């Protein structure tokens, strides 16, 4: 089985960031460093996106919210869409349409390409009626809703420093397997993601919140990936992976203590399951606000492509978690397994 990797790219991605002004440059820098490294070290087919339509946004977002996005896009200065995280700027509406269009082209091309990666995507905090956490639109929710409406069976692996509250809320009652791995202490943004939140209706017992203690390192993260075995029983036709790298140890939104090793292991495990179960993979770059965030992105794709970390210019250093933190992480995971 020869697996082909596609990468959705438009040079406009180099200028798009919905992050707080204090870290917008770091966000853009991550995307620039990533594409430079990817073109240098990886083999992939480049896929050009097109803007989505307003009607596509309304498949998940309210008409009032979409209207407000169009209106703020005409304001000739930077402001905030929410309480002080997600920026708006002149032309943001067109950029939102391009972001969502990236998911649509990923779905379309997935008929011919086994693995597709969207580096500027994975905006999992946005709610139907408002922006949140640097996310003006929930591109992943739109993609998943489209896939399930067309008869596909979808599993989501949402790895990020922060719980994907918007994605969980929108899909909570849908027959979609949702594995959320994130930093959690009950207060860390966005404060959601309690382990007892298991889904409702057709989504009952399909939502797993695997909240890791703050400070967890690569060893604990690797243990948390044992929950990927649930994908076997679910047997999806698509696995959506948000491989957010803001849990890297150098990230400015400090939470976890991960290195590229974790994202490489994630990619390898997804690739192994794909070969076994023959599902399509659509991956997203998610968040990342450190000088070396791009290395986590490259590591994930190296794992998907069965390449070593060193082949993409990344060392194999691995963090070891403090024993007390490891103990708490295992206690949480064991408790969640009992609920399963």
| 289's tokens | 């606000």
The number of residues making up the chain comes to: 340
Structural domain boundaries in the chain: 5-339
Task: Give the integer Cα–Cα distance in Å for 289 and 24.
Answer: 8
User: Kindly report the CA angle at 47 between 18 and 294, in degrees rounded to 5?
Assistant: 50
Angle between helices 63-72 and 92-109 (to 10 degrees): 120
Q: Which of 223, 99, 209 is nearest to 162 (CA)?
A: 209
Q: Which of 279, 313, 281 is nearest to 297 (CA)?
A: 313
Q: Which of 331, 229, 216 is nearest to 272 (CA)?
A: 229
Spatial neighbors of 71 by CB under 8 A, at least 6 apart, are none
CATH architecture of 5-339: 3-Layer(aba) Sandwich (3.40)
The answer to whether residues 305 and 5 touch, using CB atoms and an 8 Å cutoff, is yes
Task: Give the integer Cα–Cα distance in Å for 103 and 124.
Answer: 13
| 240's tokens | 């959506």
Task: Give the integer Cα–Cα distance in Å for 20 and 236.
Answer: 36
Give the DSSP per-residue string, 249-287. TT-SS---BB-HHHHHHHHHHHHHHHHHH--EEEEE---
The answer to whether residues 107 and 145 touch, using CB atoms and an 8 Å cutoff, is no
Task: Give the integer Cα–Cα distance in Å for 83 and 63.
Answer: 20
Q: Which of 146, 160, 149, 156 is nearest to 177 (CA)?
A: 156
Q: Name the DSSP letter for residue 217.
A: B
Angle between helices 293-304 and 260-277 (to 10 degrees): 20
Digitized pLDDT (tens) for each residue of the chain, 340 residues in all: 567 899 999 999 999 999 999 999 999 999 999 999 999 999 999 999 999 999 999 999 999 999 999 999 999 999 999 888 999 999 999 999 999 999 999 999 999 999 999 999 999 999 999 999 999 999 999 999 999 999 999 999 999 999 999 999 999 999 999 999 999 998 999 999 999 999 999 999 999 999 999 999 999 999 999 999 999 999 999 999 999 999 999 998 879 999 999 999 999 999 999 999 999 999 999 999 999 999 999 999 999 999 999 999 998 899 999 999 999 999 999 999 987 7
Q: Is there a catalytic annotation at residue 125?
A: yes
Spatial neighbors of 43 by CB under 8 A, at least 6 apart, are 5, 305
Beta strands at 207-212 and 177-183: parallel, antiparallel or unpaired: parallel
The model's pTM is 0.97
Rg (CA), the chain: 18
The answer to whether residues 204 and 146 touch, using CB atoms and an 8 Å cutoff, is no
Exactly one of 125, 162, 264, 294 is catalytic; name it: 125
């Amino acid at each position: 089985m020869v697996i082909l990797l596609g990468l959705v790219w438009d040079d406009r991605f180099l200028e798009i960031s919905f992050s707080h002004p204090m870290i917008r440059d770091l966000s853009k820098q991550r995307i620039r460093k990533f594409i430079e490294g990817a073109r240098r070290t990886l083999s992939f087919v480049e896929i050009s996106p097109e803007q989505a339509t307003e009607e596509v946004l309304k498949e998940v977002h309210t008409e009032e919210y979409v209207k407000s996005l169009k209106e703020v896009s005409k304001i000739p200065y930077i402001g905030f869409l929410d309480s002080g995280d997600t920026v708006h700027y002149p032309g943001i509406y067109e950029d939102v349409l391009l972001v969502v269009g990236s998911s649509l082209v990923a779905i379309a091309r997935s008929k011919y390409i086994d693995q597709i990666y969207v580096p500027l995507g994975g905006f999992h905090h946005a709610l139907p009626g408002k922006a949140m956490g640097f996310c003006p639109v929930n591109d992943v929710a739109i993609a998943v809703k489209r896939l399930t409406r067309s008869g596909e069976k979808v599993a989501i692996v949402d790895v990020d420093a922060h719980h994907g509250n918007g994605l969980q809320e929108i899909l909570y009652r849908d027959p979609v397997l949702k594995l959320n791995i994130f930093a959690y202490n009950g207060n860390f943004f966005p404060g959601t993601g309690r382990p007892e939140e298991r889904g409702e209706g057709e989504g009952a017992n399909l939502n797993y919140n695997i909240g890791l203690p703050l400070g967890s390192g690569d060893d604990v993260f690797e243990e948390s990936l044992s929950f990927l075995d649930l994908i076997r029983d679910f047997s999806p036709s698509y696995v959506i992976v948000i491989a957010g790298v803001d849990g890297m140890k150098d990230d400015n939104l400090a939470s976890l203590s991960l290195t590229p090793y974790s994202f490489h292991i994630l990619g390898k495990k997804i690739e192994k399951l794909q070969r076994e179960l023959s599902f399509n993979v659509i991956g997203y770059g998610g968040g990342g606000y450190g000088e070396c965030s791009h290395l986590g992105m490259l590591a994930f794709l190296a794992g998907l492509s069965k390449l070593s970390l060193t082949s993409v210019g990344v060392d194999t250093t691995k963090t070891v978690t403090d024993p007390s933190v490891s103990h708490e992480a295992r206690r949480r995971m064991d408790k969640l397994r009992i609920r399963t």
